[in-house]
Structure 1
Amino acid sequence: MTNKLEKTNGKIIVIDDEPNILLSIASCLELENIYVDTFTSSKDAFIAMQKQDYDCALIDIRLNQESGIELFKQLQSAGIDIPTIFMSGNASLNEAAESQKLGAYDFLEKPFSSEKLKIALENCLNFYRLKNKLKRIESSHPQNKLIGEHELMRQLRSEISKVAKTDAAVLIRGESGTGKELIARAIHEASRRSEKEFVTVNCSAIPQNLIESALFGHTKGAFTGANESKKGYFEMANQGTIFLDEIGDMPLSAQAALLRVLETKEVQKVGSENTSYVDVRVIAATHKNLDEAVEKGDFRQDLFYRINVIPITSPALRKRKSDLPLLVNYLIETLCRKHGISIKQTDNSCIKLFENYTWPGNVRELTNTLERMIIMGGEILTSQDIPKDITSPHQQKDREVSLKSYREFAERELIVDRLNQFSGNISQVARSLKIDRTHLHKKIKQYEIQRDKTFG
C-alpha cells in the first residue's frame, strides 16, 4: 500500500485543544495536497460542519472542558454523516471503545507519527469511497443486490435489463453460491410482472413422487394424505414469475409434464381431468452442465430448448476478484445490521488474503466467512479473524474443491511467485514458465493480478 494519499483535493477538519498539534497535522496533510481546517472549539467546529462538506474529521476525545465524543453524537443527531478518526493521549480504554461503537472509523493514540496519520487517513477515505460507490450502485439499481463493477457484472446487469423487458424463458447457469436467485429476482423486479408473485421452487428439495403435485397442484383425495385440494406453484405464480432452481435435478417424469405446461400454458392438477390456463414467466437455474445431461439422457432435449431461450451466466467470484473490496464492505454492513452490531471495518491484510483465495463456494462462502468474523472478531477485523481454511487453502480437507478451481489457484500462485522472483519482469517470468509473453499477459489479466500493487 502506498503511503501517499491520492490527489483528490480532499477537505479535512481537525478539532484539538492544542494549537501545536493542529499546526503539525495541518502541515503534514497540506504536503499531501489535502485542504485542512483546524478548530480548538467543538462549538465552532460544529457550525463549520453544518455549513461545509468535509471528507473526514479528526477529533480529539478530550477538548478541555468539552468532549469529542459528545461532538460526534451531536453531529449524528444533526444528520451530519462524516467519516471520523478520534485521537487522544490520555483517553481511557472505555472512551476509545465507545468512539468506535458509535461508528468512528479509527482511533489514534498520541503521540503518533505522520506516517501513521497518513495511513489511517488513507484507509478511512478509501473505506468511505467504497461506501459511496455502493450507494451509487444501489441507487441506480434500487432492487438489485448484485454488487460489483467488474466487466462481468456490468455485462450481467446489461443482460438483465434487456431480458426483463420480455417474457422469454431464461436459463441461468453458474456455480453454487454465485447468486443465481438474485439474478432471477432482478429480472422479475425489472419486468412488467414486478407487482405480481415471484415464486421460488427448489427442484432438488422436492421428493420425486411429490414434484408434480408441488408444481401443478392436486385435488382432494388424489393420493394418500391429500385431504384437501391445493394449488401448485404454477398457479401461485399466475401473472408473475416462477423460478425453477436446480432444474437439472428434476426427474424425467416431471420434465415431461413441465414441457407440456410450457407448450400449452395449461396446468392439470394431480387427480383432475380438467386443465386451467396460467400466464407465467419461467426462469430456471442450474449449476450442472445440462448439455452433458442431455447427451447422457438425464435431461430432455426438447425441454432444454424451451428453457434455454436466453442463457445467462452467473460469474464465479474468483473471476471477478476486483469486486472483493466492494462486496466485503457491502456484506459487513448488511450482516452487522442483521445481528444488531455496530458497523465493523477490515484492515488491508484481510482483502489481500481474500484475493489470494479461490472461493469455491463463491459469494455464499464469503458471506458465511464474514458472518463468522463479525460475530467472533473485534471492532476492526484483521487477518487473525479469518478462518484457517481460507488463509491456508492447501490444508482444506472437508471442502469440495473442483479440479478446475484448484488448478486455477495453483496457476495464479505460481505466476505471483515468479513475478515476485523476477521483480515483475514479464520477459523473465515468461521464459521461466516456458510460455510466451502474450499468454502470460492473458493469464495476469484472467487472474486479476495487480502488478503495480504487488511487485517492485
Structure 2
Amino acid sequence: MPDTDATESTLPSLDAALPGLRPRNRLIATIVYHPDLTRVGDYALIPRSRAPIILGRETMGFRQVPGGRERYLDEPYLSRRALCIEFTAAGLHLQREPHASRCRVDGAELDGDLLIDQEQLERGVAILLAHCVVLWLAMGQEREAETEALDYGLVGSSSYTQSLRHQLAQVSGTDMDVLLRGATGTGKEVLARAIHASSNRSQRRMVTVNMAAIPASLAPAALFGANRGAYTGADKSRPGYFQQAAGGILFLDEIGDAPAEVQPQLLRALQEREIQAVGGEVTKVELRVISATDADVDNKESGNGFNAALRHRLAALEIVLQPLSAHREDLGELLSYFLQQSFAGQGRERLLTGPENTARKVAGWANFYYECLRCDWPGNIRQLQNACRQVAVASRTALVVPAPLLDMFMQGAARGGPGVSEAPTVEQRLRQIADVTEEEFAKAMHEHECEVRPVARSLNVSRQAVYRKIASDERYRLAADISEDELRDALARCSGDAEKVARQLEISPSGLRARLRQEQALHRGP
C-alpha cells in the first residue's frame, strides 16, 4: 500500500535524489550509423590530451559497454587518418588530413580545419565520415557498467537511458504512486507499461485513462462510478476507472489537464484510498496510481489551475523524461530499431541490413541517419517512429525519403543543425474554440490525422476545447464513439492494420490503439 501519511513528503525525482552519483562530463564520440548495425550505439571516450588524436579506420577504439572490448571503425572506405583531433584553449580543433576521405560537420563540408568551441561541444556536433559512418560528438556523462538485468523495453545506451532503467528498477520494487513528467512523445506511456510489467501487480489489469478527454460534468462518474438512479439515464450501476483498476494499476495520462472540479476528489482518493460513486457510499479501493503529464503543473503563473496538494500527492516518486534532442546519442539505436520493426511488418527486413547493400546504398542510409541526427524532432521519439514508418512504406526496393521528411531535413539545414534551434517562447494566450472557423478546424484535423494534441497546438486552443468541438459536431468522432460492429468490419477490411482503420474512419490513430489495448485487457480479464 502507498504511504498515505502526508501530501508534502515526496521525492522531487529519483534522479535528483542521488547526489554525487552522476558521472563527470567527458568528450564522447557515439556511433549513430555504421554499415554493421550492431556497432550503432558504440562509443569512444576522447581523453583531453596535449598530443593530437587521430580518428580513422583503425586508430580509435569504440566499445559497447564500459570496460568492454574496443573495436575500430574498420570501414574500407574510411581513411586510416580521416580526422586529426586536438584540444586547444579555445576549444576542439578538427583537421581533415590531406587526401583523406570526405567529412561533413554539422552539414558543412570540412576541407581543411575547424574550431569547435566549448558551447558547441556542449550542444554536440554531427559528423559524417566517408558517407558510411555517422558520429555524434558531444560532452556528456560517461556511461556506467550496466547493472540492470532488464532493459524495460527502452531502446538506447546513453547515460540518460541507463538512468531511466535504474529509476525503473527502483520504482518497480515499490508500490508507491509515480508521476511521469516529460514533453509529448518522450515515452511516458512506455515507462508506465514497463512499471506495470515489472511490478508485483503485473498479473493484474492496468487501466489507462486520458484525463484531457473527460468532460468536467462526467468526470466524477467516469472516475469513481455511478449507482443506478444517480442521474437521469443511469439505468444500472456502472463502475468507474478506480473500481476497474482495483488490485492493479490505474494510469492517469494527461493528468495536468484534469478538470479542476474533480481534482479535490482525486486528492482524497489518492490520499485516503477512498472513493464515492455518484449516488453511492464511500468505499475503500486498493490500487497503484501512475500519472503522466506534459503540463507545467508546478508553475502557478501558467494558469492551468492545478491543485498543488494533488501535484505532490501524485508524485510519491517522480521520473522526468528528457526530449530526444537532449540525448541524441540514442538516435541511431532508435532509428535502427524502428526501421527494422517497420520493414519487418512489410516483409522487407533485408532492405536495411542485407548483404546486397552496395556502397551507394550504404551511403544513402548514412546520409539519412545523418540528416535525422541534425533535426530537432519536436514530437520526440513518437515523431521519429512515425518517420520510420513513412520511410518503410515509401521504400520498396531501396531507400526512399518521403517529401515531408525531406522538407524537415531542409528546415534543419536552414537552421544550421541541432545546436542553433530557437529557444521556446512563452506560450501565447489560448484562443476560444468559437473563434476558430470550420475551415480552420477541418484543415487541422486532416493535417494532423485527428490527433487532438497537435490539432490543439496548431489552432492555439486547449485540448478540452478540441474534445468539446468533436463531441458537438457530427462530422467528427473519437475512437470511443465507433460501434463494435463498425470497428470489427473496418479491422477486417484493413487486415487488422490500425493505421489504415484510423484513416478510413477518420479518427485518431493513437485513440484507436488505446481503445484496442483497452478491449484486449477487458477480454483477458483481471
Whether the TM-score (by the shorter chain) exceeds 0.5 is yes
Pair 352,205 (structure 1): closer, same or farther in 2 beyond 3 Å: same
Using the alignment, how far apart are the partners of 2:264 and 2:58 within structure 1? 62
Counterparts of 1:339 and 1:293, CA distance in 2? 48
Amino acid at match of 1:389: D
Q: Per-residue CA shift, 1:73-99, capped at 9, x if unaligned?
A: xxxxxxxxxxxxxxxxxxxxxxxxxxx
Tell me how far 1:150 sits from its aligned partner. Answer: 1.0
Where structure 1 has 5 or more consecutive residues not aligned to the other structure, the ranges are 9-27, 33-118, 127-136, 397-405, 414-456
Measured on the aligned residues, the alpha-carbon RMSD in Å equals: 3.7
The residue that corresponds to 1:194 in the other structure is: 202
8 A Cα contact 2:394 2:400, kept in partner: no
The 5-angstrom pairing of residues 278-293 of structure 1 reads 278-293=285-300
- Cα distance between partner residues in 2 of 1:290 and 1:318: 22
Deviation at 1:5, TM superposition (A): 6.7
Task: Please state how far the C-alpha of 1:395 moved relative to its aligned partner.
Answer: 9.8
Q: CA deviation at 1:276?
A: 2.3
Matched with 1:275 is 282
User: 2:289 corresponds to which letter in structure 1?
Assistant: V
Q: Does 1:242 align with 2:250?
A: yes
State the partner residue of 1:20. none
The separation in 1 between residues aligned to 2:216 and 2:381, in whole angstroms, is 30
Look up the match of 2:57.
4
TM-score by length of 2: 0.49
Match of 1:169 among 166, 169, 177: 177
CA 1:150 to 1:380, structure 2 compared with 1: closer, same or farther past 3 Å?
farther
Q: TM-score, normalised by structure 1?
A: 0.56
Distance 2:171 2:294 in 1: 20
Query: In structure 2, what is the Cα distance between the partners aligned to 1:391 and 1:140?
Result: 38
1:389 to partner: Cα distance? 3.0
Query: CA–CA distance in 2 between the matches of 1:408 and 1:308?
Result: 36
By relative contact order (CA 8 Å, sep 6+), the higher-ranking structure is 2
Q: Which has the larger radius of gyration?
A: 1
Match of 2:391 in 1: 373
The aligned length equals 286
Q: Which amino acid counterpart does residue 302 of structure 1 have in structure 2?
A: A
Give the counterpart of 1:358 among 369, 373, 376.
376
- Equivalents in 1 of 2:208, 2:402: separation in Å? 38
SS of the equivalent of 1:192 reads coil
Query: Which residue in 2 is equivalent to 1:184?
Result: 192
Give 1 or 2: higher helix fraction.
1
Deviates more, 1:163-172 or 1:341-350: 341-350
Cα distance in 1 for residues equivalent to 2:268 and 2:408: 46
Note closer, same or farther for the CA distance 1:375–1:296 as it changes in structure 2 (3 Å cut).
closer
Superposition deviation, residue 167 in structure 1? 1.4
1:333 aligns with 2:386: no
Contact 2:391 2:400 in 1 (8 A): no
Using the alignment, how far apart are the partners of 1:374 and 1:408 within structure 2? 25
Letter in 2 for 1:4: R
Q: 1:339 to 1:141 in 2, by over 3 A?
A: farther
- The whole-number CA distance in structure 1 between the counterparts of 2:340 and 2:235 is 46
What's the offset of the Cα at 1:282? 1.0
Aligned to 1:315: 322
Q: Distance in 1 between matches of 2:416 and 2:235?
A: 54
The answer as to whether partners of 2:184 and 2:380 remain within 8 angstroms in 1 is yes
C-alpha displacement at 1:381, in angstroms?
Answer: 2.2
In 2, are the aligned partners of 1:234 and 1:242 still within 8 Å (CA)?
yes
2:193 counterpart SS class: helix
Q: Which amino acid aligns with 2:277?
A: K
Q: Deviations over 1:197-241 (max 9, x none)?
A: 111111011222112211111112322332321111111111111
Match of 2:266 in 1: 258
Q: Which residue of 2 aligns with 1:402?
A: none
Residues 1:299 and 2:306 are matched in the alignment:
yes
Q: More deviation in 348-357 or 221-230?
A: 221-230
Q: Is the 8 Å Cα contact of residues 216 and 268 (structure 1) preserved in structure 2?
A: yes
Query: Mapping of 1:115-130 within 5 angstroms?
Result: none
Cα distance in 1 for partners of 2:247, 2:382 equals 31
- Partners of 2:347 and 2:325 in 1: how far apart? 30
The alignment status of 1:141 with 2:159, answered yes or no, reads no
- Secondary structure of the structure 2 residue equivalent to 1:218: coil
| Structure 2 CA distance for partners of 1:297 and 1:336, relative to 1, 3 Å | closer
Residue identity matched to 1:373: V
For the residues of structure 2 that align with 1:191 and 1:370, how far apart are their CA atoms?
31
Tell me the amino acid that sits aligned with residue 263 of structure 1. Q
Q: Distance in 2 between matches of 1:155 and 1:220?
A: 48
| Change in CA separation of 1:4 and 1:395 when aligned onto 2, cut-off 3 Å | closer
Distance 1:6 1:371, change over 3 A: farther
- SS of the residue aligned with 1:238? coil
Q: Aligned-pair distance for 1:409?
A: 3.9
Distance 2:160 2:273 in 1: 34
1:266/1:340 CA distance change after superposition, 3 Å: farther
- Equivalent residue, structure 2, for 1:349: 367
Distance 1:213 1:203, change over 3 A: same
What code does the residue aligned with 2:192 have? Answer: A
SS of 2:268's equivalent in the other structure is helix
Q: Distance in 1 between matches of 2:209 and 2:285?
A: 17
Q: Partner amino acid for 1:356? A: R
Q: Distance in 2 between matches of 1:358 and 1:343?
A: 29
